[in-house]
Amino acid sequence: MNPSDLARLRTMYVFAPIDGESWGLTFDGLRAHLLARDPEAFLQVDEGRTGPVRTTSLQFGVTFGEEELEGFALLSPEGVAVKNSTPQEAANFVVWLRDQVVPQDKAVTFNTEWGIEEDAPDEPVPDVTRPRLVAAFLAHLETLGLG
């Protein structure tokens, strides 16, 4: 797969605190940040009452530039995911997440749906420019054998 094809691949990106840490994430806090970003954002708490495990999540749809991103947040395990995203869209989202939601003294890790399926470890989101962040996401996809 050539680099431009890899840059167009869509998958779910999952962003979370480093193991053992917390961002202090709340649905109300995230909701407020999402609405400040996009007053027309879709927000819905899903009680997750299917099956033996009950997991409550905040489902969202929010505009980032030209793109409408859909995702969800969990409080346990704590994290925020964006679905069906390109590396560029995921980079735009995590920069916003880090700047607006995550406390300044806390780190962010990432993985992808494919990485989770392959038992790849979460990786730290580097504190770099957006183009270099996109490159880090592309390198992650390449290590999974997609490149």
Residues 40-99 have pLDDT tens digits of 999 999 876 555 556 789 999 999 888 899 999 999 999 999 999 999 999 999 999 999
The vertex-123 CA angle with 119 and 126, nearest 5°, equals: 160
Strand pairing report for 78-85 and 11-16: antiparallel
Residue 65 burial (C-beta neighbours within 10 Å; 0-12, 13-18, 19+) = exposed
Contact 25, 74 (CB under 8 A): no
Whose CA is closest to 84, among 69, 64, 101?
69
Whose CA is closest to 141, among 131, 123, 128?
123
The tokens for 135 are: 């490159």
Task: Give the pLDDT of residue 105.
Answer: 94
Please report which confidence band the pLDDT of residue 29 belongs to, taking 50, 70 and 90 as the band edges: very high
> What is this structure's pTM?
0.92
